[in-house]
Amino acid sequence: MRILLVEDDALLGEGIQTALKRAALTVDWLRDGASALAAIRDGGFDVVVLDLGLPRLDGMQVIRGARAARASTPILVLTARDRVADRVEALDLGADDFLGKPFDTGELLARIRALHRRGQGQAQACLAHGPLELDPAALEVRWRGRGVDLPRREFALLRALLDHAGRVASREALQQTLYGWDEDVASNALEVHVHHLRRKLDPGLIRTVRGVGYALAPVAELQAAPAPDPTHDPATDPAP
Amino acid sequence: MTLQPFSARRLLILALVLVVCAVSAVAAGFSYRAGLVESGELFDAKLAHSARVLAALVDQPLADAPVAAGEPLVVAVWQGGPREGVGEALVSVEGHAYETKLAFEVLDAEGRVVLRSDSGPPGRLAALAPGFADVAIDGEAWRVFTLRTPRGLWVQAGERGDIRAEMAGEIALGTMAPMLLALPVLALLVWAVVAWASRALARLSGQLERRAADALAPLPPDDVPEELRGLVLALNGLLGRLGEALERERRFTADAAHELRTPLAALRVHASNLREARDDAERAASQASLDAGLRRMERLVTQLLELARQEPGAQPAARAPVALGACVRAAVADIALAGLDRGIDLEVDAPDDLVVAGDDVALGVLVRNLVDNALRYTPPGGRVRVSLAGEGVVVRLRVEDSGPGIPPEERAAALARFHRGLGHAATGSGLGLSIVQRIVERHGGGLVLDEAPGLGGLRVDVRLPAQRAG
């Protein structure tokens, strides 16, 4: 899941970025309203965490501009303004949620997950796909009832695939979800992560759709007898 | 009337009653005296006239018809009237009730009574000497006029004195009565007017009493008596000033609360990150951020307090001679280390002979904030120059740096509370220049932001009124 964080306070922004990254989220951090609005218009974010008191363009203007440009990304407003009128205005302009400073990090993460869930049209907090279960809050993955420890990036990839369950996730979309702007990405990084997931969970779980991207195998197929394939070699796995 | 709460109404009514009574008494006294004198004159004339008429009528007949000695002729007066009463009550077809208070006598040359009215005493009325005499008969005061006829008879006409006193009394009462009758009316009037005026006062205090502590709208000045308008206007002035002070305070508190939330949020996030850290490197990073956040919080709170002390209306600036040179050196010494650590070349040129009138503590805060700002926004290896110069009646303090400066369009906003420039490492509280400006204002000085020509960054010129040495 990729988050756009817009916060002009260096110390606070840095802290939130650290917390979000630890929750296996990909974070891009901008410090002024004008560039935030441009980024939201360009798309590619699952949730925007937006401070209201921003230089160059006020947070309210960012919300207005984003909604005027028909960007539907969920926006979580983060602000020191505590008047009800400010909250009402922000929500009426098109913000989806509101969190007053100072806030609990756990609550911020929970609200981000809830916004993302709603954006995906899900109601359950846990994502499931046949024998695969993923709890975004606890950062836990279970495969056929067995807990599997995944590093942050692999967890994020699996989650993105679950968000796209029943469809094919494009390479670009997955890459965007996994890496921020300021991160250097090796050209085969995605393939390596897919390989690791297949190894740790099930070789048949992720299908390669050539020229497009990846998709999870249908539930019916996964529920049939598992066919582990320990001889699978990532080097021979073709890039999509 | 006791010495309990002072009541204008009671005092007024009491004063009114006393004055009216005193005036009535004095007026009655004058009337009584005037009545006595006037009636005396009138009655004396009538008395003399009666004696003269009597003399003219009886002189010849009595002289021609000698009367048996010791057997005077007695004329009976009408005695049927009431003893008391006024006006028509005393009158009848037969006579007047007061006839008994009048008497006459005629005596022969030897002093024997030859004719008398039965209202008088059997003997002579007064000594046989011509003219008026005041005598006492049977314990009553009488006024008697004595006349000698050409044929040697004595005619005496007398009148009881109480008639005169009664008349003078009537006149005096007539003078006093209207005043005494008017007294209750006047008292009622005063009571009503005072009540009306106090109702306006009561309404006013009611309005003030019902108010919430922060309802500082002015009182309507139109529905009070003229005499209270001054009070209402003065109260409104006070309410206005209170309102402004309260509003300033409220704005300041709101701004401060707002500005404290973001640093607090940062502290909370870093504390949470520290708790969740998975290895020493993460722990160290969070700890460092937490420390930085605490330092920032500390500075923000200090500056908020400094700003609160410099708020307009907080207290007037002390006016003592301050040697600005020493003040500048002391302030710079306090904070120079931070700049030296970052390799900033800090240059101070502060001559000793420049003295301004002001508050040395506030001026120290001013210099510290300016130099702190300059050091904060100047990149490592940059330059900061602090200089002091006399310019006639003012002393100019100049702080220049080689930092990014403030674009001309942002300079006015930079003085506003909590303004932070864009694109800097936002470690400032946005309060420094506000504090400086408040202090400059309180000292009656001026503040100009400009570009530093030599260094390329910001140049701040503060001009303060100089104090003549000695």
Cross-chain Cβ contact B266/A15 below 8 Å:
yes
Angle between helices B360-377 and B280-310 (to 10 degrees): 140
Whether the upstream peptide bond of residue A102 has omega within 30° of 0, thus cis, is yes
Q: What is the mean pLDDT of residues B132-158?
A: 88
**CA distance linking residue B261 with residue B273, whole number of Å:** 18
Q: How confident is the model at residue B427 (pLDDT cuts 50, 70, 90)?
A: low
Cross-chain Cβ contact B270/A11 below 8 Å:
yes
Residues of B at the A interface (Cβ-Cβ below 8 Å)? 257-259, 261-270, 272-273, 276, 278, 282, 285-286, 289, 292-293, 296, 420, 422-423, 425-427
Shared domain check, B137 and B242: no
pLDDT at residue A44, rounded to an integer? 86
Is ipTM beyond 0.90? no
CA angle A22, A26, A31 (to 5 degrees): 100
> Is A239 in contact with A210 (CB distance < 8 Å)?
no
| Residue that terminates a domain, selected from B123, B155, B173 | B173
Cross-chain Cβ contact B266/A12 below 8 Å:
yes
Cross-chain Cβ contact B272/A16 below 8 Å:
no
**CA distance linking residue A181 with residue A189, whole number of Å:** 15
Q: How confident is the model at residue B101 (pLDDT cuts 50, 70, 90)?
A: confident
> pLDDT tens digit string along B196-210?
877 888 888 888 888
Instruction: Tell which residue, B95, B84, B139, has the closest CA to residue B117.
Output: B95
Asked if the model's pLDDT at residue A159 lies above 60, the reply is yes
Shared domain check, B156 and B52: yes
> pLDDT tens digit string along B6-24?
777 788 888 888 888 898 8
* Parent domain of B277: 213-315
User: Looking at the domain A127-236, which fold is it?
Assistant: Arc Repressor Mutant, subunit A (1.10.10)
| Residue that terminates a domain, selected from B298, B315, B332 | B315
Strand partners, B460: B399, B449
Delimit the CATH 3.40.50.2300 region(s) of chain A.
2-120
> pLDDT tens digit string along A122-148?
777 788 888 899 998 888 999 988 999
| Percent of chain B topping pLDDT 90 | 13
pLDDT at residue B314, rounded to an integer? 56
Cross-chain Cβ contact B266/A8 below 8 Å:
no
Shared domain check, B454 and B331: yes
Q: Which residue has the tokens 């009535």?
A: B24
pLDDT at residue A235, rounded to an integer? 47
Other Cβ atoms within 10 Å of B217 Cβ, number: 10
What CATH number is given to the structural domain containing B344? 3.30.565.10
Q: How confident is the model at residue B296 (pLDDT cuts 50, 70, 90)?
A: confident
| Percent of chain A topping pLDDT 90 | 45
**pTM summary value:** 0.59
pLDDT at residue B470, rounded to an integer? 46
Asked if the model's pLDDT at residue B39 lies above 90, the reply is no
For chain B, the domain total comes to 3
pLDDT at residue B69, rounded to an integer? 54
Q: What is the mean pLDDT of residues B332-354?
A: 85
Cross-chain Cβ contact A100/B289 below 8 Å:
no
Shared domain check, B306 and B340: no
Instruction: Tell which residue, B105, B219, B122, has the closest CA to residue B157.
Output: B105
Shared domain check, B249 and B359: no
Delimit the CATH 1.10.10.10 region(s) of chain A.
127-236
CA distance to partner chain B, nearest, from residue A154 (Å)? 18
Average pLDDT of chain B? 83
Measure CB to CB from residue B273 to each of A10, A15, A32 and give the nearest one.
Answer: A15
Asked if the model's pLDDT at residue A230 lies above 80, the reply is no
Best interface-test mutation with B: which of A18, A79, A109, A152 has the largest number of B CBs within 10 A? Answer: A18
What CATH number is given to the structural domain containing B237? 1.10.287
Q: How confident is the model at residue B168 (pLDDT cuts 50, 70, 90)?
A: confident
Q: How confident is the model at residue B68 (pLDDT cuts 50, 70, 90)?
A: low
Shared domain check, B116 and B16: yes
Which range has the worst mean pLDDT, A159-163, B94-98, B221-225, B227-231? B221-225
Shared domain check, B397 and B266: no
Q: Per the structure block, which two tokens stand in for B130? A: 């011509």
Asked if the model's pLDDT at residue B430 lies above 90, the reply is no
> pLDDT tens digit string along A180-218?
887 777 888 889 999 999 999 888 889 999 888 999 988
Which range has the worst mean pLDDT, A97-111, B45-59, B83-97? B83-97
> Is A205 in contact with A158 (CB distance < 8 Å)?
no
| Residue that terminates a domain, selected from B315, B350, B365 | B315
Measure CB to CB from residue B292 to each of A11, A53, A80 and give the nearest one.
Answer: A11
Which range has the worst mean pLDDT, B101-105, B119-123, B428-432? B428-432
Shared domain check, B279 and B168: no
Shared domain check, B282 and B373: no
Q: How confident is the model at residue B172 (pLDDT cuts 50, 70, 90)?
A: confident
Asked if the model's pLDDT at residue B426 lies above 50, the reply is no
> pLDDT tens digit string along B232-271?
888 888 888 888 888 878 877 877 777 788 889 999 999 9
Contacts of residue B7, defined as CB under 8 A and 6 or more positions apart, other chains included, come to none
Instruction: Please write down the HEC assignment for all residues of chain A.
Output: CEEEEECCCHHHHHHHHHHHHHCCCEEEEECCHHHHHHHHHHCCCCEEEEECCCCCCCHHHHHHHHHHCCCCCCEEEEECCCCHHHHHHHHHHCCCEEEECCCCHHHHHHHHHHHHHHHHCCCCCCEEECCEEEECCCCEEEECCEEECCCHHHHHHHHHHHHCCCCCEEHHHHHHHHCCCCCCCCCCHHHHHHHHHHHHCCCCCEEEECCCEEEECCHHHHHCCCCCCCCCCHHHCCCC
Instruction: Please write down the HEC assignment for all residues of chain B.
Output: CCCCCCCHHHHHHHHHHHHHHHHHHHHHHHHHHHHHHHHHHHHHHHHHHHHHHHHHHHHHHHHHCCCCCCCCEEECCCCCCCCCCCHHHHECCCCEHHHHHEEEEEECCCCCEEEEECCCCCCCCCCCCCEEEEEEECCEEEEEEEEECCCCCEEEEEEEHHHHHHHHHHHHHHHHHHHHHHHHHHHHHHHHHHHHHHHHHHHHHHHHHHCCCCCCCCCCCCCCCHHHHHHHHHHHHHHHHHHHHHHHHHHHHHHHHHHHHHHHHHHHHHHHHHHHCCCHHHHHHHHHHHHHHHHHHHHHHHHHHHHHHHCCCCCCCCCEEEEHHHHHHHHHHHHHHHHHHCCCEEEEECCCCCEEEECHHHHHHHHHHHHHHHHHHCCCCCEEEEEEEEECCEEEEEEEECCCCCCHHHHHHHCCCCCCCCCCCCCCCCCHHHHHHHHHHHCCCEEEEEECCCCCCEEEEEEEEECCCC
CATH of A2-120 among 3.40.50.720, 3.40.50.2300, 3.90.1710.10, 3.30.499.10: 3.40.50.2300
Nearest CA in chain B to A51: B262
Shared domain check, B162 and B79: yes
Cross-chain Cβ contact B427/A15 below 8 Å:
no
Give the CB-side neighbour count of residue B41, counting CA atoms within 13 A: 5
Domain membership flag for residue B1: no
What CATH number is given to the structural domain containing B108? 3.30.450.20
**CA distance linking residue A29 with residue A12, whole number of Å:** 11
How many interface pairs between A and B have CB atoms less than 8 angstroms apart? Answer: 78
Which range has the worst mean pLDDT, A95-99, A112-116, B46-50, B341-345? B341-345
**CA distance linking residue B49 with residue B53, whole number of Å:** 6
Query: Given strand A75-79, what is the order of strands in its sheet?
Result: A26-30, A2-6, A47-51, A75-79, A97-100
Backbone φ, ψ for residue B225 (5° rounding): -60, 155
Average pLDDT of chain A? 87
Domain membership flag for residue B189: no
Q: What is the mean pLDDT of residues B347-357?
A: 88
pLDDT at residue B272, rounded to an integer? 94
Shared domain check, B339 and B291: no
**CA distance linking residue A62 with residue B126, whole number of Å:** 128
